Amino acid sequence: MKISEGIFDQSVLQRNKTNVSEAAFSGMCKASGIVTISVRQGGKPLKGFASVKVGMAARGKVKGCLKGVPVGGPYDLTFNVGDETLVVKDVMVGDVWLLGGQSNMQGCGLFPRVRLKTDPLVRAFYMDDRWATAKDPVHNMWDCVDPVHVDLCGGKHPPTPAKEWGVCPGPAFGNEMRRLTGVPQGLIACAHGGTSMTQWDPNRKSEGGKSLYGAMVRRLVKNGGRVAGLVWYQGCSDANAGDAKFYTARMKEWVHCLRRDSQNKTLPVVMVQIARVVGWHADEAVNWNSIQEQQRLLPRLIGHLATVPSVDLPLDDMIHIGGAGHYVLGVRLARAMQVLREGRKAGLPPIEVTQVICESERGGGMVVVEFSNVAGRLRSGARPCGFSILTQSGSSVHFDIQLDGSRARIRSMLSADVLSREAVVHYGYGLDPYCNITDESGRSLPVFGPLPIGEACAITPYIRQMRVSEHQPSAGRLEALAYPCSLDGLKMISRIFDENFCSMNPETLQREGRDEVLYFACRFSCKEAMALALVLGYDGPVKAWVDGKLLMHDPDGSNPATPDKSKAQFRVAAGEHEIVVAESTNSGKAWGIYLRLQRLDVTRKQLFKGPDSYMMPEILG
């Protein structure tokens, strides 16, 4: 008799809700008939498990399910069918976890001076399909069974690495889960460095071990098809202009498929918010921060999922968390997982941003960021670092950070009024920020941003791509100015402005103070009917139309041009629409406009969940 799926030497069997085994198994044998099992623990028979029927054998195949063995172990299992006997030794019953993602989960950290202690009750299913005590490196890629890992390494197994290399958060996670639950833990290693969400595509499941997702499902099925949850560290390879915008949708589909294939609609998932990277081009920061922000917001869009920050942890190279950092990360992941499973009686979820407001202080402004789920008080080992207040031009305008319980107070040179209109706040801005703020349990603040300062709203970025007319004859305060019969007749030219203020200053100055009119136009589309507001800033008399209908008119518009000088509400159906704004040059003193669209029919709940929970107008230019 040989078991090919479900139960192996040194394996951990996933417990069910009643804390006993429910382990399906299958394999091959020559005999036919009833399959029985006898279980021994410490050399003694386990009560109620002497020659218990667990399955059937016929036509060379054996199949069954081992039910009722209590959490714990180790157990020795003796299977019998006809004259065939198989002994499976050192089997545990507890919780089993999938470890997935890319290199930081595969394990690229260097061993620290003090290594993580191994726990004989924490096991790993290594990549050579062998169970053993869990110790780094658990992703022994050089001995992998699934061909996808060989294919991704150029068609050859990678060489055995140096002895000081290979730490991932998996063993530390397993050790902490063992401490928290008191039951044995099993880790199924499935990660592969440098991989993107497209490479983890669940639609490739049918390829089995030739695809990453298929290999993971194969390893899941080989171990009985049931696990306690997933621990995931991935996203670095999606931090690019082509993939970043799809990350949330891909993760939602990926988790849905995993829950379907693990037969658990609420399978708990704890993922890591990607940390830092050194040496990338500064232009990639926007994509790196986008992935971090999407990962922060995923728990609001996917139930039974938590995101754990890692931005404060040390690196061992340009992108990989160091060995000691992985030990910290493993503990953070375990504690977040236990809260997902047991609720707040097990502790606090990861820290979340709850509110960003602005206060005045001695003529300047102070941005106050409030957090929930803080254990004790926020603290830092030295001067608090990690927050950034940025203007729309990208300039940093803060000079001090103060910690106050569960709040951070960031002081700025700008007034509260200007901050609320023109600035945003980040934590962990850029590719390689220095972030040192944790709570008293040593848990980091999440990377976030850009977040508006003040009341949250659903608003587009400033529209910089416009069609702009040649200077037209004066129309005074624009009272009698009608919608143009033909925009083509205005000789509109497409422009992309360098700043949020769409300024025609150089061209207007050349007009020697003449009073004239400029038209700005742009198209946008909506996938559904929306209630919107045209948010307009300007420095001269102005008039605006949407789809040819007059929306607003300010005959007294004048300097200065502030971004949100006027807000005019309107409704549109699904489809494509056009905004046209006419501004008087006010005898050369008016130069241009600010323009954004705000969606008004978005609920507070949707705003809390983030921009992927509602649709916004798409600016077409």
Q: Report whether the peptide linkage leading into residue 137 is cis, meaning its omega lies within 30 degrees of zero.
A: yes
Beta pairing partners, 448: 427
Per residue in 295-311, pLDDT (tens digit) is: 999 999 999 999 999 99
pLDDT of residue 58: 95
**SS3 assignment, position 9:** coil
pLDDT at 418 over 90: no
Q: Model-level pTM?
A: 0.85
pLDDT band for position 226 (cuts 50, 70, 90): very high
- Mean pLDDT over residues 132-153, rounded? 97
- 112: amino acid identity, one letter: P
Count H helices and E strands in the chain, helices first. 10, 38
pLDDT band for position 281 (cuts 50, 70, 90): very high
Query: What mean pLDDT is reported for the chain?
Result: 95
Per residue in 458-493, pLDDT (tens digit) is: 999 899 999 999 999 999 999 999 999 999 889 999
Do residues 13 and 23 touch, judged by C-beta distance below 8 A? yes
Q: What tokens were used for 510?
A: 């050349």
pLDDT at 594 over 90: yes
Contacts of 140-148 with CB under 8 Å at 24 or more apart are 140/189, 141/106, 141/192, 145/209, 146/209, 146/210, 146/215, 146/218, 146/219, 147/209, 147/210, 148/192, 148/207, 148/209, 148/210, 148/211, 148/212, 148/214, 148/215
Write out the DSSP string of 38-80.
Answer: EEEETTEEPTT-SSEEEEEEETTEEEEEEEEEESEEEEEEEEE
Per residue in 79-104, pLDDT (tens digit) is: 999 999 999 999 999 999 999 999 99
Write out the DSSP string of 349-405.
Answer: PSPEEEEEEEEEETTEEEEEEEEES-SS--EESSS---EEEEETT--B-EEEEEEET
pLDDT band for position 211 (cuts 50, 70, 90): very high
405, burial (CB in 10 Å: exposed 0-12, middle 13-18, buried 19+):
exposed
**SS3 assignment, position 499:** coil
Per residue in 525-564, pLDDT (tens digit) is: 999 999 999 999 999 999 999 999 999 999 999 999 888 8
pLDDT band for position 454 (cuts 50, 70, 90): confident
pLDDT at 599 over 90: yes
- Mean pLDDT over residues 439-462, rounded? 92
pLDDT at 344 over 90: yes
pLDDT band for position 421 (cuts 50, 70, 90): confident
- 384: amino acid identity, one letter: P
- Alpha carbon distance 57, 501 (integer Å): 77
Interhelix angle for 247-261 vs 285-301, to 10°? 40
pLDDT at 394 over 80: no
- Alpha carbon distance 620, 521 (integer Å): 11
- Mean pLDDT over residues 187-191, rounded? 98
